[in-house]
């Protein structure tokens, strides 16, 4: 427990060098990515990675994603195939994670004891610079208490883990706002979409020149997961949440002010402290970027229930709806 609270660092060369030294010494650091903020440790150091699980209250059955500075480093942690190299060339750096057979240097703590590893190259330049300075891959799940809404700012990390960790690198608000897309390529002839995210299904299928199987079946909490984000309930506010295909403004207008209503786009002629929306016009990129921040704001408002609506269409809508569905899943 850190009684003084975590120190938040600006991304200066001096600060980056200091944080890189801490990572090499086995410490954990809150880091910015284009998806959400992560909690990073040396991916080759089992003891350092165990600190991630303790800080988050995360079960060891839920693996970590290994982050690389460059696709050229992929062979150091994984055993890539031709399909993986095609996707890496098309989408890295970016919000795409690939699940591949792992190299022996990656400890079991990172992979939930499985012979596979989840890996990506982030698009956040500051984080990639930190990885290069640390001189090793960094394992990092989202930097929040396990199961709670993911953080998209350094302040979110401070609020959630500030007493459990010592260091947070501030890289501004996350540009994508949702966790990375995860594709299982352990069998390249039968690729599987494990988690939708910032790279859409159609984009992936175009590069692979084949269809992706649907999301994996909902996993039990205690069994080892192939990749993060597979549990039925995840990314969840503390306030009970229900999701519908579409919300009716008339229902919100006559509801209790103790119940929050979260629309995709700003509803016309509907106002009040219990009315929320993700974007004025319903733009999906803006909606994805704001989803977790708005859920956190609602959660802090003391409401007894959240009503939310699904986003129409595919692409980012599939990712937004996945997060809403898991947020609303019964325990």
Spell out the domain ranges in the chain.
Answer: 7-208, 241-328
**Other CB atoms closer than 10 Å to residue 50's CB: what's the count?**
16
Q: Please tell me the predicted confidence (pLDDT) of residue 229.
A: 83
Regarding pTM above 0.85, the answer is yes
Q: Please tell me the predicted confidence (pLDDT) of residue 213.
A: 93
3-state secondary structure the chain: CCCCCCEEECCCHHHHHHHHHHHHCCCCEEECCCCCCEEEEECCCHHHHHHHHHHHCCCCCCCCEEECCCHHHHHHCECCCHHHHHHHHHHCCCCEEEEEEECCCCCHHHHCCCCEEEEECCCCHHHHHHHHHHCCCEECCECCCCCECCCCCHHHHHHHHCCCCCEEECCCCCCCCCCCEEEECCCCCCCEEEECCCCCHHHHHHHHCCCCECCCCCECCCCCCCCCCCECCCCECCCCEEEECCCCHHHHHCCCCCEEEEEEECCCCCCCCCEEEEECCCCHHHHHHHHHHHHHHHHCCCCCEEEEECCCCCCHHHHHHHHHHHHHCCC
Quote the radius of gyration of the chain (alpha carbons, Å): 19
Beta-carbon contacts of residue 244 (< 8 Å; ≥ 6 apart): 307, 308, 309, 310
**Other CB atoms closer than 10 Å to residue 257's CB: what's the count?**
10
- Spell out, as residue ranges, where the chain has pLDDT lower than 70: 1-3, 215-222, 330-331
Q: Please tell me the predicted confidence (pLDDT) of residue 214.
A: 77
Q: Please tell me the predicted confidence (pLDDT) of residue 216.
A: 56
- The verdict on domain 7-208 having CATH code 3.90.870.10 is yes
């Amino acid at each position: 427990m850190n009684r003084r609270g975590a120190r938040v660092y600006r991304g200066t060369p001096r600060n980056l060098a200091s944080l890189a030294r801490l990572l090499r010494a086995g410490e954990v650091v809150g880091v910015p990515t284009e998806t959400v903020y992560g909690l990073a440790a040396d991916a080759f150091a089992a003891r350092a990675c165990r600190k991630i699980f303790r800080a988050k209250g995360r079960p060891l059955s839920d693996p970590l994603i290994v982050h690389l500075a460059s696709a050229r480093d992929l062979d150091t942690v994984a055993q890539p195939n031709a399909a993986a190299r095609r996707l890496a060339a098309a989408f890295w750096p970016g919000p795409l994670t690939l699940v591949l057979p792992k190299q022996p240097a990656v400890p079991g703590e990172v992979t939930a004891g499985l012979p596979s590893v989840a890996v990506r190259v982030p698009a956040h330049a500051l984080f990639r610079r930190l990885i290069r300075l640390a001189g090793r891959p960094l394992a990092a799940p989202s930097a929040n208490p396990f199961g709670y809404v993911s953080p998209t700012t350094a302040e979110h990390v401070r609020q959630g883990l500030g007493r459990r960790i010592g260091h947070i690198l501030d890289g501004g608000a996350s540009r994508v706002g949702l966790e990375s897309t995860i594709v299982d390529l352990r069998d390249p002839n039968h690729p599987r979409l494990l988690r939708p995210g910032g790279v859409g299904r159609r984009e992936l299928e175009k590069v692979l020149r084949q269809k992706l199987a649907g999301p994996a079946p909902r996993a039990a909490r205690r069994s080892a997961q192939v990749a993060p984000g597979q549990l039925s309930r995840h990314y969840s506010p503390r306030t009970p949440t229900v999701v519908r295909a579409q919300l009716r403004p008339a229902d919100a207008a006559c509801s209790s002010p103790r119940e929050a209503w979260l629309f995709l786009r700003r509803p016309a002629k509907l106002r009040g402290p219990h009315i929320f929306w993700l974007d004025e016009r319903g733009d999906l990129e803006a909606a994805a970027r704001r989803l977790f921040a708005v859920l956190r704001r609602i959660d802090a408002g003391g409401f007894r229930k959240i009503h939310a609506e699904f986003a129409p269409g595919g692409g980012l809508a599939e990712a937004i709806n996945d997060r809403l569905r898991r947020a609303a899943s019964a325990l």
